Amino acid sequence: MKFVQILIIFFLLGVLSNNSFAQEKITALEIIKKADEKMRGKTNISIMRMEIIRPTWKRSVSMKSWGRGLDFSMTYITAPAKDKGQVFMKRKTEMWNWMPSIGRMIKIPASMMSQGWMGSDYTNDDILKESSIVVDYNHRIVGEDKIEGFDTYKIEMLPKEDAAVIWGKIYKWITKDGEFIQIKSEYYDEDDELVKSDFAYDFKKMDGRLIPARIEIIPANEEGKKTVLYIEDIKFDVDLPESFFSQQKMKKIR
């Protein structure tokens, strides 16, 4: 009987040891990939609302978005009335804006990637995913922290030499519990100055995935300013062909 008990103990110790080893073996790149795929899926359709908050005013923008992998996204503005109908599309390395009020299709130049999208603290680059956090950066785990009650990996991301990205450095804190939720991010310019941070809150199950329903983006050293993104609904891995992301579709989508 004792021999059997000893075998069971050794078996359990082996399982625990292997799990611990597997946890230690995961790379920073794998963590980033899992976190990115969790929020993006292979494809997705989402309904969102964005609040732009300033010291003396506040503005709300509602939208519907479609995404396919890293290369394709489209966003249709549903409110306010003066912006309703505007469409933004990214197709690989090109970005376009359809403005129905003037009947014009505008190609957005790379020089505008760092500008605030719709006047918010999101840049065009952030919203339309012009650069990929997976392929354009070198990643490494630089620590482990407790953030908002979550045990997290702290991951440093430095841009690859030829990457066309706007950030000089990014830190991301991603949960270690197997959910791979991005709890916090910090974005630095080329002079190593903090530009903005984002924080995730209100975790909910949407389409089978635990994700933050509220994300706050706070610019550094600008008191009273922030942008809050509310994810109201999202569906993952829907039928969304590459042909959906076209200029013809931009003019017809609702």
Cis peptide bond upstream of 80, omega within 30: yes
- The 3-class SS string of 26-75 reads CCHHHHHHHHHHHHHCCEEEEEEEEEEEECCEEEEEEEEEEEECCCEEEE
145: which 2 tokens? 């922290």
Please check whether residue 179 is in contact with residue 160, taking contact to mean a CB–CB distance below 8 angstroms.
no
DSSP state of 234: E
pLDDT of 125: 72
Residue 110 lies in a domain: yes
pLDDT of 131: 59
pLDDT of 106: 94
Beta bridge partner(s), residue 197: 186, 218
Q: Is 24 helix (H, G, I), strand (E, B) or coil?
A: helix
What are the start-end ranges of the H helices in the chain?
A: 2-25, 28-40, 124-128, 247-252
Domain that holds residue 240: 6-252
Q: Per-block average pLDDT, block size 10, for the chain (254 residues)?
A: 45 43 74 92 96 97 93 94 94 90 91 83 70 86 94 96 87 95 95 96 96 97 96 97 96 92
pLDDT of 24: 56
Distances (CA, A) of 192 to 44, 134, 199: 34, 21, 20
39: which 2 tokens? 């929020």
pLDDT of 70: 82
Residue 65 lies in a domain: yes
Residue 127 lies in a domain: yes
Q: What are phi and psi of 35, to 5 degrees?
A: -65, -40
Residue listed under structure tokens 């975790």: 203
Residue 212 lies in a domain: yes
Residue 119 lies in a domain: yes
pLDDT of 166: 82
The reported pTM is 0.85
Looking at the structure of the chain, the number of domains it has is: 1
> The domain that contains 62 carries what CATH number?
2.50.20.10
Residue 1 lies in a domain: no
C-alpha–C-alpha distance, residues 11 and 7, integer Å = 6
